Amino acid sequence: MRTNWAGGGRVFGYARGRRALVAGSALACVLETLTMSVLLRDWPPLDQVVPVLGLLAVASVAALHASSVARPHLLDPDTFALRLRRAARADVIVPLGHIASAERELRVARRRSDGELDLPVGFRTSITLQLAEPVTHFTLLGRQREVHAVHFHADDAELVVATLQAQLRAVRRGRSVPSTCPGPPG
């Protein structure tokens, strides 16, 4: 499967944690389709539509999972930025110079706080970024939100935190961080 990222960066997946949920949802769609076919066997026009709807439901579940696999988090050392994603719904670019700390913190997603961005998988996050300077997050409908803390999930949270801390040390040792233009991610 093709992943949507530029070469040279390091990718960190987050879709492994939802495999069981995806498999369970697909199985539920198949069972629902079979049950509806049995219940509607006396109404042929409806009985012919139900398998098509069931196939579309399974395809939708598979497409949601595929979008998570194809759009992983990306640490790009060339632009000194961490690109955090959640399928096609969220895409926020965090310059490494804006990160004050990166910690492994297992949390259950809760009600959204002002200035915080949660990118959970299965209602949980595993990494917390505290930002020294806020970054702009564009919502799915294009609204702007300033965030000072980002909570997100990664399959290998310890590796992500270790890699981020190494990159942060390198940035703080004297490399300059290019300025970023707050605009919707491309």
Q: What is the pLDDT of residues 113-165, one digit of tens each?
A: 788 999 988 888 899 999 999 999 888 888 898 999 999 999 999 999 999 99
Cβ neighbours of 10 (radius 10 Å): 16
* C-alpha–C-alpha distance, residues 16 and 91, integer Å: 19
**3-class SS of residue 69:** helix
Instruction: Kindly report, residue by residue over 42-94, the tens digit of the pLDDT.
Output: 998 888 899 999 999 999 999 989 988 888 999 987 788 999 988 777 889 99
More confident of the two residues 6 and 91: 91
Most distant CA atoms of the chain, gap in Å:
75
Query: What pLDDT does 88 receive?
Result: 72
Q: How far apart are CA 35 and CA 62, in angstroms?
A: 21
169 torsion bin: left (phi>0), alpha (psi -120 to 50), beta (else): alpha
Chain CA centroid to CA 111, Å: 18
The reply to whether the predicted model has a pTM over 0.75 is yes
**Rounded CA gap, 89 and 152, in Å?**
13
pLDDT for position 4:
53
Residue 94 CA, distance from chain mean position: 14
Per-residue pLDDT of 99-125, as tens digits, reads 999 999 988 877 777 889 999 888 888
pLDDT of residue 122: 81
Is residue 16's pLDDT more than 80? yes
N-terminal to C-terminal alpha carbon distance within the chain: 20
Q: Which residue's structure tokens are 């050392």?
A: 77
Exposed e or buried b for every residue in 63-91, given b needs 16+ CB within 10 A? ebbebbbbbbbbbbeebbbbbbbbbeebb
Question: How many Cα atoms sit within 13 Å of 18 on the Cβ side?
Answer: 24
Q: Is pLDDT of 5 > 60?
A: no
> What pLDDT score does 147 carry?
93
Cα separation, 91 vs 83, whole angstroms: 7
> pLDDT band at residue 171, thresholds of 50, 70 and 90?
confident
